[in-house]
A and B are shown apart, each in its own frame.
Chain A
Amino acid sequence: MADEAPFQFLHSELIQYIYKSADTEDTENGRNISKLENLGCRVGQGLIERLTKDAPRFKDELDIMKFICKDFWTCLFKKQIDNLRTNHQGIYVLQDSQFRLLSHLSAGKQYLDYAPKYLAFTCGLVRGALSNLGLRSVVTAEISDMPACKFQVLIQKM
């Protein structure tokens, strides 16, 4: 079973790189988040392709979201999403109460500003995965209580 550490270190370094190569702190932040998200999207597309190569067809949108919460999340972080909520009209909220990529940041409030950087790539992973499964989406994330966070998926009508 592959170790988690290489990816976690690489992910941190990737964030440092994206932010360091930006010129200014504030105005670039949105662009950096997008860059990270887009990188995640590419990776998510590749991953889901390989993960679902031999899987049976999905029944419906909810089936796909459950797959993301269970199999895909396990592939990424060796655990499942802890809670999935939906309004059955295309909005899903995925809650991870121990998000792996935040676990190295301490639980204090002072890191709340930095934490969005650590979610962007994963939002991209989800968006990329969904896009290869035929769903167009917008994925955002917010931190409720470190290290718990919520990913919000808005499925867009094609």
Chain B
Amino acid sequence: MWPRLLRHSAAQFGRGPTHEMPHFPNSELFTLTYGALVTQLCKDYENDEEVNKQLDKMGYNIGVRLIEDFLARSTIGRCQDFRETADVIAKVAFKMYLGITPSVTNWSPAGDEFSLILENNPLADFVELPDNHNTLIYSNLLCGVLRGALEMVQMAVDVKFAQDTLRGDNVTEIRMKFIKRIEENLPAGEE
């Protein structure tokens, strides 16, 4: 029997009067579906490293399409520099799609690297990692999404989790590094 990867513990959700349904955000659908996906990947692949790679790849595939949705709905113009990009990611994109606003901090002196600090991570709501998965980067999809989306706007970036509350850290921190500008008309990196 496959060990339960995820234990979604019961949580309080607004107690409304019993004749009225509580307003139920459908981020639950996303969170639970994501959990089911990660569980499936853990079943399909031998080790955490492979799962991490798959999540990144799937995230990338999502990112290259999500960016169009984002640009169509947000009316944000071209960002002038990486700092502006960081702000748009944190204050507009994360807010729009995940309902959270991470803070942007820890800028490198050269201004080419920063951190997104997430106080809470909707992908990992109510998730606990069992002991045999301590190299799993549960939310690695996000890294792929960011990488894929930015590639479509001509920025090659490196994105990785520096801290993760699921692995015992106090906060979840995503580190983003600008690698280079991509010339238009070059084929995208992956399939």
Contacts and interface: CB of A to CB of B under 8 A. Distances in A.
Contacts of A42: 32, 36, 39
B13 A53 contact: yes
Interface of A is mostly: helix
Contacts of B33: 7, 10-11, 14, 39, 43, 121
A50 B22 CA distance: 10
Interface residues of A, number: 34
B18 A10 contact: no
Interface stretch (A70-78, A85-93, A111-119, A139-147): A70-78
Given A7-B30, A21-B44, A51 B24 contact: yes
Given A47-B32, A55-B21, A75-B26, A16 B37 contact: no
A10 B26 contact: no
A14 B35 CA distance: 12
B99 A2 contact: yes
B79 interface: no
Of the listed residues B24, B96, B98, the one surrounded by the most CB atoms of chain A closer than 10 A to its CB is B24
A58 B70 CA distance: 41
A53 B8 CA distance: 14
A43 B26 contact: no
Interface of B: 8, 10-11, 13, 15-16, 18-19, 21-22, 24-30, 32-37, 39-40, 44, 54, 58, 61-62, 65-66, 69, 96-99, 141
What are the 7 tightest A-B residue pairs by CB atom distance, in nearest-first order?
A2-B27, A2-B25, A7-B30, A43-B32, A9-B62, A39-B36, A46-B32
Interface of A: 1-7, 9-11, 13-14, 16-17, 21, 35, 39, 42-43, 46-47, 49-51, 53-56, 71, 75-78, 121
18 contacts: A7-B30, A9-B69, A10-B33, A13-B58, A13-B62, A14-B37, A17-B54, A39-B40, A43-B33, A46-B35, A51-B21, A53-B13, A54-B15, A54-B22, A55-B18, A71-B21, A75-B29, A121-B33
